[in-house]
Amino acid sequence: MGQSTDGILAYGYDLGGDDGWKIREAGEYGELPAFDWYDEEAEDGDFQEAAEKRLLAEVAGFAEEWSSGNDGYFEREREAKARLGVEFDTYCSGDYPMFLLATKVITVRRGDIKAIDMADLAVTPEMNQWDEKLRAALNALGITPTQEQAQWLLCSYWG
């Protein structure tokens, strides 16, 4: 069994995590506020799963639950995620995840290399659509990042 040591480049927002949430709604000590879509105890503390479920329902109109014999569920879910246009990713470590909300994520696994054309990272008209999708997601979640605007973020993951 090995350790993942990944490099991550993402366009979006750093939301922080249990060591301190980077949202304006966070409590005095950086803790999450109460949300109508997330109950830490009921969700076994899985913020990402609860947030994704909320976004799929509110932004992409997909509130279906998987059940045995539900033919086509995964295809419909995949289509809804594509409509959503944002995703969560984690950085820091598997034991203490920090969260990104992003429209574009480039991950390089340990031992790999990926060529990146810097022109692809420049401001483009496509980024306006990315920003709109991110704003819609933030509104659906009821959170305001402390980061002023979406931007390219370089981070690492160890886990």
pLDDT digits (tens, 9 = 90+) for 31-52: 999 899 998 777 567 899 999 9
- In tens, the pLDDT along 78-129 reads 999 999 999 999 999 888 999 999 999 999 998 899 999 888 788 777 888 9
Instruction: Report helix, strand or coil for 152.
Output: strand
Distance CA(122)–CA(120), nearest Å, equals 6
Q: Residue 141: which residues within 8 A CB-CB, separation 6 or more? A: 35, 37, 51, 54, 55
User: What angle do the packed helices 47-58 and 125-141 form, to 10 degrees?
Assistant: 110
The separation between CA 119 and the C-alpha centre of its own chain, rounded to angstroms, equals 24
| Of 106, 101, 107, residue with least CA distance to 47 | 101
- In tens, the pLDDT along 61-89 reads 999 988 888 889 999 999 999 999 999 99
Q: Which residues pair with 21 in a beta bridge?
A: 16
Distance CA(35)–CA(124), nearest Å, equals 34
Q: Is the pLDDT of residue 17 over 70?
A: yes
Q: Is the dihedral of CA 69, 70, 72, 78 positive or negative?
A: negative
**In which band, very low, low, confident or very high, does the pLDDT at 5 lie, cut at 50, 70 and 90?**
confident
pLDDT of residue 61: 95
